[in-house]
């Protein structure tokens, strides 16, 4: 089905091929010669045609970062790859190749026109990020399941689709199904869908379409609920309280407590279990609310800090820009006046004055930067102090509430032990009825029963300790990473970049002076 080159050696995309293609498709005549002499910058190429090159593997296109149109049709490509960096592509032609699977397109989110005509594709999939698609050609492939078109219902911007030449096109209801299920598409297989045909098709399949829409709505509703749950869980994690929502802590106490689950069925323990659960739930709710409120306070502090940083940088940039613009005005005026100077002494005087003012600009820019460094250092110190106070208050409050959990567990342990010992006495009198074999065995030996109660208690305390350690470690790591980002990645790197920027700016202006003096000399 695909175009094959049996007599020519398959090729890969190499720099020589790219240079030749760009030269052939670039400016002609004198303009073309100038481009060749000055060199070709792939960064600025917008359109690239690599058709009929016998290309087997897509490679070496990463440098075409501004490319909007790429033509790779009529080659022997077997796999869609090497396109991740071409994020500005809006038009891609991969027709007449040997591609078997739609893949490697995730980053091409701006794509509006995609042709995969005449390949070996059997499944329509892996295009979820291409929500801007308007034109899609999948004709002359190996797609035989008509239900595949349901995947295309998510592409609401589609105006034209070509599926002709696939096995499923032989089905009697092919065109009707496509028109009904993709009822916003204007052209199917290069033909305008007439309204009369669309209306007749809809009448024929209205029941089926209604059922599909209802099913999709249920799926969308479920996906939305899951998305909200994920967002909610993420918020809870950021506040370190995800383990304390509803009855999660209570459930976790018994998750690995085999002995405790047995003891919960003891005669006479039911009221205690209800009481214990209610108390644990109450403390869990306190922890959850406390953590949520404190997280908001911490987040507000962080947001205020970043806003202060941005305000300081903006104010500093305004001063720096003003000084630079004033100097540029002075430079332009000075260079213009120099064209009328005839005396060498006057020329040298003006150039000396210019160089002096340039050095003053350099010193002024560095002074502004040092002022900003000092200002940000003070802001960072104050923020770090406030943040540690807030985190300390959060940690202490969190630990205090968990201490309440431990107290409740200890009280519960005493009650469980009391009930257990009563059951031992009852068991020895053969008065225990309707209990599991596991419990009956425990009641037969007092030491075994006491060990089971103690083991359950220790498991609960261990779980509470684990939650405290987990919170403490996570918030310490968060502070460490945040402060590292502020000190090293943000401020130090910003300062380095700014110094380099100032140096380059001054060097550029010095070079302008040198060039001017060289011309006069």
Q: Where are the domains of the chain?
A: 247-405+473-518
User: What is the model's pLDDT at position 27?
Assistant: 44
Q: How far apart are CA 388 and CA 306, in angstroms?
A: 16
| Integer angstrom CA distances of residue 9 from 6, 119, 184, 338 | 8, 20, 44, 64
User: What is the model's pLDDT at position 1?
Assistant: 43
User: What is the model's pLDDT at position 333?
Assistant: 87
User: What is the model's pLDDT at position 438?
Assistant: 76
User: What is the model's pLDDT at position 9?
Assistant: 58
Q: How far apart are CA 127 and CA 166, in angstroms?
A: 19
User: What is the model's pLDDT at position 151?
Assistant: 95
Q: Is 17:53 a contact under the CB 8 Å cutoff?
A: yes
pLDDT beneath 50: ranges in the chain? 1-8, 26-39, 521
Question: Which pTM value belongs to this model?
Answer: 0.70
Q: Among 347, 453, 457, 476, which residue's Cα sits nearest to residue 407?
A: 457
User: What is the model's pLDDT at position 34?
Assistant: 37
Q: How far apart are CA 284 and CA 408, in angstroms?
A: 12
Q: How far apart are CA 31 and CA 49, in angstroms?
A: 20
What are 380's strand-pairing partners? none
Q: Is 163:178 a contact under the CB 8 Å cutoff?
A: yes
User: What is the model's pLDDT at position 244?
Assistant: 95
| Integer angstrom CA distances of residue 167 from 170, 206, 221, 508 | 6, 25, 34, 65
User: What is the model's pLDDT at position 30?
Assistant: 41
Within 10 Å of residue 101's Cβ, how many Cβ atoms? 15
| Exposure b/e, 53-65, CB count within 10 A at least 16 = b | bbbbbbeebeebe
Q: What is residue 135's DSSP assignment? A: E
Q: Is 103:126 a contact under the CB 8 Å cutoff?
A: yes
């Amino acid at each position: 089905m695909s175009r094959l080159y049996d007599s020519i050696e398959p090729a890969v995309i190499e720099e020589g091929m790219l240079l030749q293609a760009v030269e052939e498709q670039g400016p002609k005549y004198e303009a073309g010669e100038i481009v060749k002499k000055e060199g070709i910058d792939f960064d600025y190429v917008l359109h690239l045609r690599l058709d009929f090159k016998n290309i087997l593997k897509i490679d070496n296109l990463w440098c075409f970062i501004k490319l909007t149109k790429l033509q790779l049709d009529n080659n022997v490509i077997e796999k869609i790859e090497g396109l991740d960096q071409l994020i500005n592509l809006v038009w891609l032609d991969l027709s007449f190749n040997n591609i078997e699977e739609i893949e490697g397109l995730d980053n091409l989110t701006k794509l509006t026109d995609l042709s995969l005509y005449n390949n070996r594709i059997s499944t329509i999939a892996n295009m979820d990020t291409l929500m801007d698609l308007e034109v899609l050609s999948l004709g002359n492939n190996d797609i035989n399941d008509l239900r595949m078109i349901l995947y295309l219902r998510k592409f609401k911007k589609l105006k034209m689709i070509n599926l002709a030449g696939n096995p499923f096109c032989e089905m009697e209801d092919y065109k009707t199904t496509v028109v009904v299920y993709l009822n916003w598409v204007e052209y199917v297989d290069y033909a305008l869908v007439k309204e009369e045909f669309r209306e007749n098709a809809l009448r024929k399949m209205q029941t089926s379409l209604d059922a599909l829409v209802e099913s999709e709505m249920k799926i969308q509703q479920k996906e939305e609920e899951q998305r909200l749950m994920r967002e909610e869980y993420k918020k809870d994690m950021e506040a370190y309280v995800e383990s304390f929502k509803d009855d999660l802590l209570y459930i976790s106490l018994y998750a690995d407590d085999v002995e405790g689950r047995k003891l919960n069925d003891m005669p006479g323990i039911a009221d205690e279990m209800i009481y214990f659960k209610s108390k644990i739930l109450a403390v869990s709710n306190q922890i959850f609310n406390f953590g949520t409120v404190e997280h908001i306070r911490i987040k507000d502090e962080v947001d205020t800090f970043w806003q202060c940083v941005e305000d300081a940088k903006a104010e500093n940039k305004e001063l720096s820009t003003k000084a630079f613009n004033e100097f540029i005005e002075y430079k332009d005026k000075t260079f213009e006046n120099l064209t009328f100077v005839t005396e060498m002494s006057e020329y040298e005087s003006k150039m000396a004055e210019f160089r002096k003012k340039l050095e003053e600009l350099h010193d002024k820019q560095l002074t502004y930067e040092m002022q900003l460094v000092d200002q940000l250092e003070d802001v960072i110190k104050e923020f770090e102090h406030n943040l540690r106070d807030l985190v300390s208050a959060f940690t202490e409050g969190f630990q205090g509430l968990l201490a309440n959990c431990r107290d409740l567990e200890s009280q519960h342990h005493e009650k469980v032990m009391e009930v257990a010992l009563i059951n031992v006495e009852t068991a020895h009198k053969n008065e225990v009825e309707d209990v599991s074999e596991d419990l009956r065995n425990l009641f037969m030996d007092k030491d075994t029963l006491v060990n089971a109660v103690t083991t359950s208690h220790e498991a609960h305390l261990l779980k509470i300790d684990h939650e405290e350690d987990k919170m403490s470690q996570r918030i310490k790591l968060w502070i460490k990473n945040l402060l590292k980002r502020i000190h090293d990645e943000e401020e130090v790197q910003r300062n380095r970049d700014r110094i380099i920027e100032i140096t380059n700016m001054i060097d550029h202006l010095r070079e302008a002076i040198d060039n001017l003096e060289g011309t006069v000399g």
